[in-house]
Amino acid sequence: MGQIILASASPRRKELLEQIGLEFEICPAKGEEVISKSVPEEVVMELSEQKATEVAAMVKTYESGHGELMTPQDILVIGADTVVACDDTILGKPKDEADAKRMLTLLSGRKHAVYTGVTFVFLDKNGRAGAHTFYEKTEVTMKPLSEPEIDRYVATGEPMDKAGSYGIQGQAAAFVKEIHGDYNNVVGLPVGRLYQELKKLGVMEWNKGLSQRNSFVIINRK
As annotated, the active-site residues are 81
Q: By C-alpha distance, which of 27, 24, 14 is closest to 62?
A: 27
CB 83, CB 90: distance < 8 Å: yes
DSSP character for 177?
Answer: E
CB 79, CB 55: distance < 8 Å: yes
H or E segment to which residue 181 belongs: none
How many CA atoms are closer than 13 Å to the CA of 164, on its beta-carbon side? 29
DSSP symbols for 106-123: HHTTSEEEEEEEEEEEEE
Find the angle CA(192)-CA(204)-CA(5) to the nearest 5 degrees.
80
Bridge partner list, 113: 85, 139
DSSP symbols for 64-109: HH-GGG--SS-EEEEEEEEEEEETTEEE-S-SSHHHHHHHHHHHTT
Backbone φ, ψ for residue 208 (5° rounding): -105, -40
